[in-house]
Chains A and B, each alone.
Chain A
Amino acid sequence: MSSRRSRSRQSGSSRITRITEEQISDLVSKLQDLLPEAHLQSNARVPSARVLQETCNYIRSLHQEVDDLSERLSELLATSDMSSAQAAVIRSLLM
């Protein structure tokens, strides 16, 4: 596929916009700020492809965490009842 740089030369079409490299690098740096520092060695500038790769990894790990938490929650819910769950939530709200 054409690289993003060539898009900037297309004009006159309302659907295709000029996606400049500066825009992309700006968004990628914002994304880099979101990633936890453990995934990147330092705050130094890393290539965009690496940021995207780390983002994919991070999203997958978040999915995995949600799955694990769902398992634990389902186990807990099987042994408790909703009133205690609601009480727990209310308690956390008050704290």
Chain B
Amino acid sequence: MPSSSSSSSSSADDEGARGKCKRGSPGACASASGGDYHQGPSSKWRTPRAQQAYSSKLLQALRLVRGGGGTGTLITCSASAPAVRDAAYRALAVAARGRSHWSRAILASSRRCRAPHCLRARRPPPPRPRQRQQQQQGGETEERRPGGLAGRAKVLGRLVPGCRSLSLPALLAEVSDYIAALEMQVRAMGQLTHDLAASASASSSSAPTAAPSIAPP
């Protein structure tokens, strides 16, 4: 396994402030043998360097998705949205360097030449139908889910890939890392979209040398 000196050096300042996560379960310790995983695992996703590294990885993955021929020529083969999404999650898992359960689960499932079905399985339920006005608060734990901490933890474990049968502390640690990674992914993809749109508009305003743009359906 390559050493993770770059990530640890960049987040060294944050780690001292955050302190270390309390790890009780040996199962989680066995998987997180890296020293810098204890110290504020979510802080490593916040650095701009991490985002840039992810952006370049994402671009490489997208190039593979498009069939690898894009040096100046317009490729009309489909870069479908699910393919882009899967490439994004794979790149995210690679960026995690396999030090977390969810990243290993994503890489393992993609190696099976299938989309991460854990993510797909969450699509059919409507994302936000719940009557969660801002005033509704606490007490009601039985909206539609099994009430209690264990039930919600189970739901949470199903949401994060590869974390169905983790103990609660390990699950919560995985979730915090996963959330930080997802936030970085959203930031990076948004930045990439913005840059692409800006460059596309810039190139279309100037003399188009590549090819006429195809209107998306």
Contact = CB atoms under 8 A, between A and B. Distances in A.
Interface in A41-93: 41, 46-50, 52-53, 55-67, 69-89, 91-93
Contact of A89 (B26, B180, B192): B192
B193 A73 contact: yes
Contact of A31 (B138, B159, B175, B189): B175
Interface string A15-56: 101111001101110110011000001000011111011011
B59 interface: yes
A11 interface: no
B128 interface: yes
Interface residues on A, range: 35 or more
A70 B66 contact: no
Nearest to B215: A79
Contacts of B185: 66
Contact of A78 (B42, B138, B192, B216): B216
B190 A69 contact: yes
A77 B169 contact: no
A1 B159 CA distance: 20
B159 A70 contact: no
A19 B25 CA distance: 8
Interface of A: 1, 3-4, 14-15, 17-20, 23-24, 26-28, 30-31, 34-35, 41, 46-50, 52-53, 55-67, 69-89, 91-93
